[in-house]
Amino acid sequence: MQRYFLNEDYEAKPVYVVEGEPFHHMVRVMRMVPDDCVYLVFQDQVAILAKIQQINEQAVHLIEVEKEQQDKELPIHVTIASGYPKGDKLELIVQKGTELGAAKFIGFPAQSSVVKWDHKKLQKKQQRLQKIAQEAAEQAQRQRTPIIQLAASDKELWDSLSNYDYVIVAYEESAKSGENAKLIDILTKAAPGSKILAIFGPEGGLTPAEITRAESQGAVICGLGPRILRTETAPFYFLSAVSVLTELVRK
């Protein structure tokens, strides 16, 4: 069933009026008619099943049938920070990371990043990534659309570390040494609602200086299993581990 994210908090109303892009998609793309049902998702993560009551030239009028009961979000708030990779890898990270439950994505210019974007390109890229995230959230039947933040300097990332309960840095040298206990320890003790920031380097990885800086600010350096993962693969491994250890095992 189609799902549409609205830029407002939930409020009980006799009729919900949907305009703009959701209207266009419902009417022009999906060819919906009165009595068809969709999910409307609000900014406060409330989702309702709604039935189309009326369609006019600019808006769709819907009535609430019931609230969605199943929680589709990870029990912990996960932010994925990726050193800018080459090509369209960041788009893949955002798309699949959204499907896997990430709440926020931060792109930053790591010391090994080859990609250089000026302010104008950053704005354009952010708009595209936000659209990709919304479409992926709709496809995955989520109750929130992740936030996209593209940093112009790495300082924006390092200055934000104190906003999180846990900061994890994926480091290939830890993987090579067989270290994996730290990741399990953090994910098994993280309480529901905890905020976790997971930092991943670009193709060249994070430099020793960046690792030292992260450790000096309380970050935990972790391996992600014995294999060395690509920059676009590592976040998916991490998010899958989060799901298993905080959703499936705890249930």
- Whether 188 is covered by a domain: the verdict is yes
Task: Kindly indicate the confidence band of residue 248, based on its pLDDT and cuts at 50, 70 and 90.
Answer: confident
Chain-centroid distance, C-alpha 50: 25
Q: Is residue 127 part of a domain?
A: yes
Answer with the one of 16, 41, 67 that is the final residue of a domain: 67
124 shares a domain with 54: no
User: Which of these three, 16, 47, 67, is where a domain ends?
Assistant: 67
Domain that holds residue 118: 77-248
Q: Which residues pair with 40 in a beta bridge?
A: 4, 48
pLDDT for 176 = 53
Does residue 72 lie within any of the structural domains?
no
State how beta strands 47-55 and 37-41 pair. antiparallel
Sequential DSSP letters for 10-29:
----S-EEE-HHHHHIIIII
Q: What pLDDT does residue 180 have?
A: 66
Q: pLDDT by residue (tens digit) across 168-210? A: 999 877 555 555 688 999 999 999 999 999 999 999 899 999 9
- What HEC string does 169-219 produce? EECHHHHHCCCCHHHHHHHHHCCCCCEEEEEECCCCCCCHHHHHHHHHCCC
Q: Are both 131 and 163 inside the same structural domain? A: yes
The values of phi and psi at residue 126, to 5°, are -65, -40
Whole-number Cα distances in Å, 15 to 11, 125, 143: 11, 36, 21
Instruction: Judge if 48 and 137 occupy the same domain.
Output: no
Closest by CA position to 211, among listed 102, 97, 70, 112:
112
Q: What is the pLDDT of residues 84-141, one digit of tens each?
A: 999 999 999 999 999 999 999 999 999 999 988 888 899 999 999 999 999 999 999 9
